[in-house]
Structure 1
Amino acid sequence: MKNFEFQPFAKACIQLLAFAALGYALWRVKGVIVYAGISLYISVLGRPLFKILQFKTPLGKYVGKTGNAALTLLTIAAVLSGIVTWFFPLLIKEFSFLSTIEYDRLIASLEEEWNQLDAILASFGINSQAELEQINNSLQEFASVDAISDALSGLIGSMGNVIIGLFSISFISFFLIREQELAHRFIDYITPKKHHAKIDKMVPGIKRVVTRYSFGILIQITLIFLLLSLGMSLIGVQGAVVLALTAAVFNLVPYVGPLIGASLGILLGIGQLYTTGLSDPATSVNLLQSLYLLFGLFAVVQLLDNIVFQPIIFSNSVGAHPLEIFLVISVAGTLLGVGGMIFAVPAYSILRIVINTIREGWEAS
């Protein structure tokens, strides 16, 4: 009797230890897993272009699968490189002028308008002068030449890891694009034959979810970009396109990203309005009113994103409850950082498909 009771317990302990060891091993190689996941994502998105090159163009039929895979990867890289080479110089230009602003004069120009709210702030126990001094000190510290230089130095210092990551992702993506069934065959190899039918059922669903989610995210970014660029242009901010695109891209990072994007957009927007007013007094605007408008613009766009855009995207592509999404993103952010937060939803969608397929098999048996 004791032996009979001990065997299930021992088996459960062994399984638990095995899962713990597997989890630890995966944690140790999480960087490789992230590279593989991004490469798989790129291969799914690049597969339609690969098929067009292979079957619809004379060159594609001549160079074969290897050449088509290389052309597909080069096309994706060229598009991304074009966006980066166009976008980053403009973004650096926007940031570089921050160090030239005389923040004492900026705060002084705001102070006269701010005094109109002094009575209201005082009724809430807020010392407006102290708040202005704190804002001034924070702005000078954030936008000082040393701070910007340190940020650029840190970015340059991390370029080695970025280059290694790009090479790894490109290498893996090439073979995944070239051999569509490579990942499928690997899964079949490590899975017992009796489960191959389930794998065949899961793969199309995974590809469909990843594709739909990607296009949904693209639509989300486009809508946010259009609304912000239009609103900032109406307010009078120069470089509204760059600032709006920056905020829209930061929006990819759940929860934290929108705050960072809004902070940068408001700070750079007010700085531009101020410097434009100094160089051309005819274009001078009420800075405090513009600050309110920028706050309101980002708040309204974020509400639209949370209430309209995201629910539609997640319900159509993932079909998950908002609470599920919140918990998944929180766990991914804790374990894997910002990258984990960005890819948490598609990874969770794939996991849901796997679990649902396994559960259907159990119920059928």
Structure 2
Amino acid sequence: MVTSKTIANGIVRAVAILAGLYVLLLFIFSVKTVLLYLFIALLVSMIASPVVQFLKRKLHFPHILAVVTTLVFFILLMAGFIMLFVPLIISQSENLSLLDTDKLEQDVMSVVGEINNYFGIDTKKIISDADLTSKINFNFIPNLLNSILSILSNFGIGFASVLFITFFFLKDRKIVSVNVKKILPDAHQGKILISLNKINYLLSRYFIGLIIQITVLFAMYLTVLLIFGVENAFIIAFITALLNIIPYIGPLVATALVIILTLLGHLGPEAQNDMFSTTLYVFIGYCIAQIIDNNVSTPLIYSSSVNSHPLEIFIVILASGFVFGIMGMIVAVPLYTSIKVVAKEFWPKNPIVKVLTKDI
């Protein structure tokens, strides 16, 4: 017979468990940036590990030298990416000096007039009543460029932290592996090791697919920009294609960025007449490229590489974005895949785990 004391003890236990989970979640949220750095460093170390092994086996590098050389190689790649922005910013700054704001405003009003004639809408009266022309500031572009530079400078702190953690992950890889095996309980050691091998396999496929996706997008973006004669086409195509590593938001940012850069590239006295038409064509070209990517490349990566349904991935990325921001969206798929693999090994009979991991 269940007594009131037993019920009270059960309630107290449940409250204690909930309180403990709440405290744990608060702690995780407070150190979320550190956890992100650790996870990103783990992913980078997994990617860099084959390079380290190649240097040791084929070129007979000492272990420390191989690790340092690999990290220097990655730093140079990152530096090369950042340096891509330099000629782009210089050229756009030169274009800004040629900006004729009066001419630009006239062009905008001319487009408004054409819309008015085509649709039969008195847009001039609407704009006049809303006093939009006095609120439009055509000098917003330099402020946007300054914001981009600020984001890049803040990115440096995270990059240095990840690099430092990655160095020790690679340097002490064997020591970490041995110590982890000592800590692991004998009853679950086999399951954990199997999980790690599966995670490594699935994430390798995911990153390979992501590289292929970015390459295909780069080719399509470059083709569009070259057709319409956009300045710095190679650099813009590369940057906008690389933004695709940010799920869902990346393509939107890439489209907005290419619109701004195309407008900036047509600020000269002669080119300004074709500003809006060229930008519209580039926008359409980017939209077509993204439609192809969304219907071909993305489903293949998510369904084939990590064996997850696109809707499932969308919900995970959205939730991770709300909690951890942009970096959370980037690492959402690898982290979720890792959790699914571990869940299948340890709770294979759980109904929810069965549904989510049926294809793993």
TM bucket (normalised to shorter chain) is 0.7 to 0.9
Q: C-alpha root-mean-square deviation of aligned residues, in Å?
A: 3.0
- State yes or no: 1:130 paired with 2:132: no
Contact 1:243 1:265 in 2 (8 A): yes
TM-score of the superposition, structure 2-length normalised?
0.84
Range moving further from structure 2, 215-224 or 5-14: 5-14
Q: Which residue of 2 aligns with 1:179?
A: 172
Q: CA deviation at 1:353?
A: 1.0
Q: CA deviation at 1:4?
A: 4.4
- State yes or no: 1:203 paired with 2:196: yes
* Equivalent position SS for 1:360: coil
Q: Which residue of 1 aligns with 2:307?
A: 319
Matches within 5 A, 1:266-345: 266-275=259-268, 278=269, 281=270, 286-345=274-333
Matches within 5 A, 1:12-91: 12-58=14-60, 60=61, 63=62, 65-85=63-83, 87-91=84-88
Q: CA deviation at 1:112?
A: 4.1
Structure 2 unaligned blocks of 5 or more: 352-360
Distance 1:126 1:193 in 2: 75
Residues 1:50 and 1:134: Cα distance change in structure 2 (over 3 Å):
farther
Residues 1:304 and 1:26: Cα distance change in structure 2 (over 3 Å):
same
Contact 1:176 1:182 in 2 (8 A): no
Q: Which residue of 1 aligns with 2:355?
A: none
Q: Which residue of 2 aligns with 1:241?
A: 234
Counterpart of 2:147 (choices 145, 151, 163) is 151
Residues 1:49 and 1:134: Cα distance change in structure 2 (over 3 Å):
farther
Range moving further from structure 2, 249-258 or 290-299: 249-258
Q: Which amino acid aligns with 1:83?
A: F
Structure 1 unaligned blocks of 5 or more: none
- State yes or no: 1:167 paired with 2:160: yes
Distance 2:100 2:282 in 1: 21
Higher helix share: 1
Range moving further from structure 2, 88-97 or 231-240: 88-97
* Equivalent position SS for 2:308: coil
Distance 1:83 1:298 in 2: 22
Q: Which amino acid aligns with 2:212?
A: I
* Equivalent position SS for 1:273: coil
Q: CA deviation at 1:286?
A: 4.0
Distance 1:318 1:290 in 2: 39
Distance 1:297 1:186 in 2: 53
- How many residue pairs get matched? 347
TM-score of the superposition, structure 1-length normalised?
0.83
Counterpart of 1:349 (choices 333, 337, 357) is 337
Range moving further from structure 2, 207-216 or 98-107: 98-107
Task: Summarize deviations over 1:76-127 as a string: whole Å, max 9, x none.
Answer: 2222223322x1212322442453212321342455465433223444x755
Contact 2:313 2:333 in 1 (8 A): yes
Q: Which amino acid aligns with 2:265?
A: Q
Q: Which amino acid aligns with 1:302?
A: Q
